[in-house]
Amino acid sequence: MNRVMIFLLSFYFGLGAFFSFIVAPELFKSLERQVAGSIVEEIFPLYFGIGLGAVGISLVLAFTSKMRRFLKTILGINFLVLLALELWVVPRAHQMKVAGSPEFAKWHLISVIMSVVSLFFTFGAIVFLIVKGKEA
């Protein structure tokens, strides 16, 4: 069970770190801002969907195997963060961008912060699973 959770969470963490800290900055450095933004915006639903799947499956596994409350809590909070990003923050940011609203900058910052928070929670869960091993 732990190995499956570590794999899922590590996959999402690696994907998120690669996308957030390598792919997106390189796109914005190499392409026109509007083109890069459009590409990144197309990737978001898949990226956050993978996160929801990996964290959601891990959360279900944590509950079915009676793992510690701490792990369930950080996975649960992470799932809620990703759900809010997918269903509320990213669509709202898109609306603001399309409307040309100055509010877009605020919603974009919120999405970046929430995405980084999700990666920190994911990393925390991975470390917890590795350190605590079978007693997680």
Please state, in angstroms and rounded to a whole number, the distance separating the CA atoms of residues 116 and 49: 16
Specify the pLDDT at position 5.
Answer: 96
Q: Using pLDDT thresholds of 50, 70 and 90, give the confidence band for residue 134.
A: low
CA distance 113 to 119: 10
Mean pLDDT of 26-48: 92
Residue 49: Cβ within 10 Å count: 12
Structure tokens at 70: 């701490």
**Structure tokens, 95:** 């609306």
Contact 132, 68 (CB under 8 A): yes
Q: What is the spatial distance between Cα 59 and Cα 61, in angstroms, rounded to a whole number?
A: 5
Sorted by where each begins, the domain ranges of the chain are: 2-131
Provide the pLDDT for residue 112. Answer: 93
**Arithmetic mean of pLDDT, 114-136:** 89
Q: What is the pLDDT of residues 43-92, one digit of tens each?
A: 988 999 999 999 999 999 999 987 889 999 999 999 999 999 999 999 99
More confident call, 10 vs 67: 10
The C-alpha atoms of residue 136 and residue 129 are separated, in whole angstroms, by: 6
∠96-56-121 over CA atoms, to 5°? 75
The residue assigned the tokens 């369930």 is: 72
Percentage of the chain beyond pLDDT 90 is: 85
Q: What is the pLDDT of residue 30?
A: 96
